Amino acid sequence: MVALALLGLTLPLSLLVVLALRLQGGPVLRRERREGRGGRPFELLTFRSTAPGPYGRPVPTRLGRLLRPARIDQLPVLLNLLRGDMTLVGPPPGPGEAHPSPPRRPGLTGWAGMD
């Protein structure tokens, strides 16, 4: 219910970000494979805020420089909450090799609220 309410509140901002990313060209969402509870893989969704740079290293886009400090690029993670890939509170989802079999489902924020 919390994720649905937050999605509703942030929908106008998300639509503006989608429009701006479409105008830049390229994909709107970045999908990262992560492992959830029991090693079950899922795709962590975020707005694209980087582009390929020199030597294959990602560099922030102009829009990404605005989105990242305010963490607006993380709004699509609410869809992961709705799909049941993550919980609101729990350990952060790490790459597969970092958390081979997490005891709990990954969360949007950690127990201390500082993750």
Q: pLDDT tens for residues 20-72?
A: 999 998 899 999 999 888 778 899 999 999 998 899 899 999 999 999 999 99
CA-to-CA separations, 104 to 31, 67, 74, in angstroms, rounded: 21, 29, 21
* Domain membership of residue 54 as a residue range: 2-87
The answer on pLDDT for 110 being more than 80 is no
What the block records as the tokens of 85 is: 């890939």
What the block records as the tokens of 26 is: 């390229």
In a domain, 63, yes or no: yes
In a domain, 106, yes or no: no
In a domain, 23, yes or no: yes
In a domain, 97, yes or no: no
In a domain, 103, yes or no: no
In a domain, 93, yes or no: no
In this predicted structure, what is the pLDDT of residue 64? 94
What the block records as the tokens of 97 is: 């090799």
Look up residue 69 and give its amino acid. P
Q: What total number of domains does the chain contain? A: 1
In a domain, 101, yes or no: no
* Ramachandran class of 26: left when φ > 0, alpha when ψ lies in -120 to 50, beta otherwise: left
Residue 25 CA neighbour count, 13 Å, CB half: 1
In a domain, 109, yes or no: no
